[in-house]
Amino acid sequence: MAEKRSILTEEGLKKIEQQLENLKSVRRIEVAQRIKQAIDFGDISENSEYDDAKNEQAFIEGEILRLRKVLRESDVIHETRGDGSGIIRLGNKVVIRDLEFDEDETYTIVGSAEADVTDGKISNESPVGSSILGHKIGDTVNVNVPAGVLRYKIIEVK
């Protein structure tokens, strides 16, 4: 079965590359120093500093592997100027209005590897992201979610 490729924006690619570099060149060294200090304390069989440092080391190595995999299995979309159609595509920033609460929400549509709703980035595979892709300004979109159906009106596409 073929691996499903992720999609990254240029900004997302840079962010993941920076995270990976920080883990490899800073955090790895810091945790290695913590392990060395813990070993210097003596008996490591009951040394909580040693155990904590080894657990952190395992976490860091796991993150390095995960980020390398994301980079290896991702395609980068290059941001281009819109064609003036107002149609929502991957990489667009959109303003949508929740018709139930009459509140505007702003999101950037990105691939799942860089989605971060706290940063206003939603995945093209999420219920909202997949529902609004291909629509244009003025369209009303129904989004099926576990709690029911949400209705949004597309206000702006950047």
Q: What is the pLDDT averaged over residues 84-90? A: 82
Domain count, the chain: 2
pLDDT given at position 44? 76
Please state, as a whole number, how many other Cβ atoms lie within 10 Å of the Cβ of residue 87: 16
Residue 42 has pLDDT above 90, yes or no: no
Structural domain of 144: 93-157
35: nearest Cα among 56, 23, 53, 62: 53
* In a shared domain, residues 97 and 72: no
In a domain, 71, yes or no: yes
Q: Hey, what are 107's tokens?
A: 């999101």
Q: What percent of the chain shows pLDDT beyond 70? A: 94
Q: Is the pTM of this model over 0.85?
A: no
pLDDT given at position 45? 77
* In a shared domain, residues 73 and 105: no
Name the pLDDT band for 84 (thresholds 50, 70, 90).
low
* In a shared domain, residues 63 and 110: no
The residues pairing with 110 across neighbouring beta strands, listed in sequence order, are: 123
Name the pLDDT band for 118 (thresholds 50, 70, 90).
very high
Cα 18 from Cα 23, distance rounded (Å): 9
Residue 40 has pLDDT above 90, yes or no: no
In a domain, 55, yes or no: yes
* In a shared domain, residues 66 and 104: no
CB distance 86 to 71 below 8 Å: no
* In a shared domain, residues 12 and 73: yes
Q: What is the pLDDT of residues 56-73, one digit of tens each?
A: 999 999 999 999 999 999
In a domain, 85, yes or no: no
Cα 98 from Cα 152, distance rounded (Å): 5
In a domain, 1, yes or no: no
* In a shared domain, residues 72 and 13: yes
pLDDT given at position 81? 55
